Structure 1
Amino acid sequence: MIFLKDFLESAEAHYFVGYRVHYYLFTDQPEAVPNVKLGEERKLIVRKVPSSNRWQDISMGRMAALEKLTEELDNEADYIFCFDVDAKFYARWSAETLSHMVAVIHPWFYNYPREKFTYERRPESEAFIPADEGDFYYAGGEFGGSVQEVHKLTKTCTEKQSIDRAKSIEALWHNESHLNRYFLYNKPSKLLSPEYLWRDISAGTNEVKVIRFTSVAKNMAEVRPNI
């Protein structure tokens, strides 16, 4: 919850400004949600979810929560994006990002060769990607697209996670591993550069000239259970 106020205030300044936007927040602490002034036709809807002692379970629970949400929004919204809230907007983010299925290149792997990607390599996992396959390494902390396409994605990933769970398997990077597997065989119609999800505003680079959205620096031991 310590990141939410900055996330929302920065989104109000940069994210689809002038458009109708509804933020859906999934949290186990709805009473702690800060009061942030939102613009016209913009509102925050809070959904309570169970707490967890493992950050891995929080990560993997995202797909099931989004699958249910996209079912509800089928006739109410055109597009949906999923974000981690331990991040902040710094520049314009708008209609240029819209497409049927949108992925973002992971900011740590955008200039790495494929053999360095941290795909799930165990064949027994439903997230398995063979060593000679794969186009990009996609970030699990951000994806989106039409409500219908995101529903297909989240439904598939939820089902694949359930199959793994029944075999006592946990993919290497949890929902991110399953997301990368999905995108391997269901190519994104739009691919965003790391300027749309950078690793830290203070992490300089020669390639990324404008940082639009970035993770914020944090002490993982303070914000993640069981680290």
Structure 2
Amino acid sequence: MYIIPRRRDVLVLTAWLAPVVWEGTFSRDILNAHYMQKNLVTGVVTFAVKKYVQFIEGFMSSANKYFLTGHQVNLYLFTENPEQISHLHMAPENHLFVIPVQNHSWWQDISMSHMDIISRYICSQFQYEVAYLYSIDIDVQLFEHIGAEIIDTLVGTIISWQYTARCESKSYETRTESQAAIPKGEGDFYYTASFYRGSVAKVCKLTRACFKGVMKDRENGIEARCRDESHLNKYLLYHKPTRLLSPEYYWDEELSQPCIIQVKRMCSVHKDSKK
């Protein structure tokens, strides 16, 4: 209803009729007006543990400026040392909640526990406070506005290299002994786990299913090729997203930029670029 497919150089509609959002395929004014009337609160979950605390200020300042500007946003920051978080100036419509999280010995354990933590907090807190929930990696910065065009029931973000010369093959888990295995020849797009979202009910189901798969793999002595991202792709294969975001919404700066990428709204920050 609100998508205006003016682009002819990219895919704007999936085989299951879900819109793929690119610059030039929507009217932000129309969408903002629509969602402003609903007076919805949106939640953003991000994790800053160990060395990733260095990215907090850059992420928060850019999200505060560009993410759903004018809409009510609750930012939930999980960190192992909440007392070390300095005061961050937030826009009037934004609220920051700093939540302590357990310190794991290995970063892989931290990464794989994200899904479990999110699902548990949805049940205990988030479902009472927000209508939609977004999970975004802390080591990113926003450079352009990300608005109401991203709001839908279940949304996946297509990974950057899908539209570059590096699109040699999808990184699906193929080992049948893994719960994340995707049969050969199946799969629609490859989605990044760095930015996914939906209604709180849908995100709860997604995170629970993915964490269950992670733990089942661990019991069987196997780790999926891309850990929780592999399980995310397995889930979205059989639970189709109602909206897809193009790589404009999470671009890898290490890749050369093809002409179809007209704007880079959010980009990863190189881990070695900050000490």
Q: Same fold (TM over 0.5)?
A: yes
Distance 2:168 2:64 in 1: 39
What do the CA deviations read for 1:104-143 (whole angstroms, capped 9, x no partner)?
0011233479871111111000000112110001001110
1:191-202 to structure 2, matched below 5 A, reads 191-200=244-253
Whether 1:68 and 2:120 are equivalent positions in the alignment is yes
Q: Structure 1: which 5+ runs fail to align?
A: none
The secondary structure found in structure 2 opposite 1:2 is: helix
1:14 partner letter: Y
Q: 1:111 to 1:136 in 2, by over 3 A?
A: farther
1:26-175 to structure 2, matched below 5 A, reads 26-71=78-123, 72-111=125-164, 116-175=169-228
RMSD of aligned residue pairs (Cα, Å): 2.0
Look up the match of 2:57: 5
1:36 partner letter: L
Q: 1:102 to 1:23 in 2, by over 3 A?
A: same
Q: 1:112 to 1:175 in 2, by over 3 A?
A: farther
Q: 1:115 to 1:215 in 2, by over 3 A?
A: closer
1:18 partner letter: G
Contact 1:201–1:214 under 8 Å retained in 2: no
Q: What is the deviation of 1:53?
A: 2.8
Q: 1:10 to 1:49 in 2, by over 3 A?
A: same
The secondary structure found in structure 2 opposite 1:219 is: helix
1:121 partner letter: T
Q: 1:31 to 1:108 in 2, by over 3 A?
A: farther
Q: What is the deviation of 1:203?
A: 4.6
Contact 1:114–1:134 under 8 Å retained in 2: no
Deviates more, 1:201-210 or 1:19-28: 201-210
Q: In percent, how many aligned pairs have the same letter?
A: 37
2:101 partner letter: V
Contact 2:161–2:255 under 8 Å retained in 1: no
Q: What is the deviation of 1:88?
A: 0.3
Contact 1:103–1:192 under 8 Å retained in 2: yes
Whether 1:190 and 2:243 are equivalent positions in the alignment is yes
Q: 1:174 to 1:201 in 2, by over 3 A?
A: closer
Distance 1:124 1:179 in 2: 17
Contact 1:4–1:34 under 8 Å retained in 2: no
What do the CA deviations read for 1:177-222 (whole angstroms, capped 9, x no partner)?
00000001001000000110001288533221101111012229x8
Query: What is the number of equivalent residue pairs in this alignment?
Result: 222
Whether 1:14 and 2:66 are equivalent positions in the alignment is yes
Contact 2:251–2:268 under 8 Å retained in 1: yes
Q: 1:9 to 1:114 in 2, by over 3 A?
A: closer
TM-score, with length taken from structure 2: 0.76
Contact 1:26–1:49 under 8 Å retained in 2: yes
Q: Structure 2: which 5+ runs fail to align?
A: 1-52
Contact 1:201–1:216 under 8 Å retained in 2: no
2:142 partner letter: F
Q: 1:67 to 1:132 in 2, by over 3 A?
A: same
Look up the match of 1:207: 260
Distance 1:123 1:132 in 2: 14
